[in-house]
Amino acid sequence: MIKQAIIPLAGLGTRLLPITSVFAKELLPINGKPGIEYILDECIEAGIKEIILIISNKKEIIRKYFYNDKFYQSIIKKKKDPRIIKEYKKILFYKKKIKFVYQNKPLGTGDAVLKTKKFIKNKYFLMLLPDDLIMKKNCSKDMIKIHKKHKASIMASLKVNKNNVDRWGIFSIAKTLDKDNFKISDVIEKPKTKDAPSNNAVIGRYILNKDIFNFLKNQKKGKGGEIHITDAIRKMIFEKYFFIGHKFTGKYLDCGTMNGYIKSGIEISKL
């Protein structure tokens, strides 16, 4: 059963500087709605009961977004505006499902995951990276279904342009399970084009076995001096853990760069 999700939000967001020097990119509106809410909605609709948000003391603004009750209550008392009441109810609904964990040093996604170790209850959990929006089809929900069938770890995947492989984790396929699912034989974090085993990229949805915490404990820093989840996954694959690459069918939007962010708003407005 997959009932918990984690969302790493403590990154510095350097790809979106200068705005991220003072603001959390995950709260930036995409077609009028903060990016993080798309991710929360996907989790909740997929049946997730508890969502762990990994923030840092520099990103307290994210906690504040969900814990601004006094402010809402006083405005609602004065204005009785149905729109504001509706927005506040939505925040209260999210608040029942979320919990905060801190990663104060930006040491990478692998380190962020390790911070949630003592809160994960079941053998498998879901992780969503907030830069990656997948619209029209709930990717997390589909991955949970595939997990039930194969009892494996799963990563969302997409074929990318060979010249851009150094933006992603790239995996190679051991065998095809069905038209959308592949058994993975290796994964490399942001390889150069000449070193990439394929152009199958990992997109930010993962179902992970909690044994990953044991691998992360000893995980050395990799590319850019960060502890990467991809490097721990690679070790697990070499230790015969079953990882599936799932070619998702929804519409992918990369909000982690300024161009992608701008395009995402336009694309969502057209859906």
Site residues, ligand G1P (CB under 6 A): 109, 129, 131-132, 168-169, 189, 201-204, 228, 230, 256
Give the torsion through C-alpha atoms of 176, 255, 103, 128, to 10 deg: -30
Shortest Å, Cβ 169 to ligand G1P? 3
DSSP state of 190: S
What does the block give as tokens for 89?
């109810």
Shortest Å, Cβ 170 to ligand G1P? 8
Q: Which is nearer to ligand G1P, 85 or 247 (CB)?
A: 247
What does the block give as tokens for 8?
């790493």
Shortest Å, Cβ 73 to ligand G1P? 37
Q: Which is nearer to ligand G1P, 97 or 167 (CB)?
A: 167
Q: How many residues does the chain have?
A: 271
Residue 95: phi and psi, rounded to 5, are: -60, -30
Shortest Å, Cβ 83 to ligand G1P? 33
- Residue 175 has a CB neighbour count (10 Å cut-off) of 8
DSSP state of 219: P
Shortest Å, Cβ 47 to ligand G1P? 23
Taking alpha carbons only, the member of 14, 26, 18, 116 closest to residue 62 is: 26
Q: Which is nearer to ligand G1P, 147 or 205 (CB)?
A: 205
- Helix runs in 58-188, H state only: 60-66, 69-79, 82-97, 109-114, 139-150
Q: Distance between alpha carbon 220 and the CA centroid of its chain, in Å?
A: 22
The answer to whether residues 181 and 245 touch, using CB atoms and an 8 Å cutoff, is yes
Q: Which is nearer to ligand G1P, 129 or 207 (CB)?
A: 129
Q: Which is nearer to ligand G1P, 120 or 202 (CB)?
A: 202
Task: Specify the 3-state DSSP secondary structure of 100.
Answer: strand
Shortest Å, Cβ 247 to ligand G1P? 14
Q: Which is nearer to ligand G1P, 35 or 256 (CB)?
A: 256
The residue number with the shortest CB distance to ligand G1P is 169
Placement of tokens 């995402």 in the chain = 264
User: What's the 3-state SS for 208-256?
Assistant: EECCHHHHHHCCCCCHHHCCCHHHHHHHHHHCCCCEEEEECCCEEEECC
Q: Which is nearer to ligand G1P, 78 or 259 (CB)?
A: 259
Shortest Å, Cβ 141 to ligand G1P? 19
